[in-house]
Amino acid sequence: MNEEIVLPALSKDLIDKLDKLYPDKCPLLTDEERMVWFKVGQRSVINYLQQIYDEQLQDNIITKD
């Protein structure tokens, strides 16, 4: 199955809020390995949504809010 996943229009406000909740920062030396991977997973979702938002802007699916 090779279906393309189309996300709904994203909002810059949503991306900004998620970016503040899950910032792109280095893990603490005291973080356990499992927590490091958990935080990496959270951040990868934010990065993916930002990429999709940028593509939606470029393709004129949305306008800057």
Amino acid 28: pLDDT = 93
Tens place of pLDDT per residue across the chain (65 aa): 668 888 899 999 999 999 999 999 999 999 999 999 999 999 999 999 999 999 999 998 888 86
Question: Which of 29, 33, 13 is closest to 21 using CA atoms?
Answer: 13
Burial 23-38 (b: 16+ CB within 10 A, else e): eeeeeeeeeeeeeeee
Amino acid 2: pLDDT = 67
Amino acid 38: pLDDT = 96
Amino acid 32: pLDDT = 97
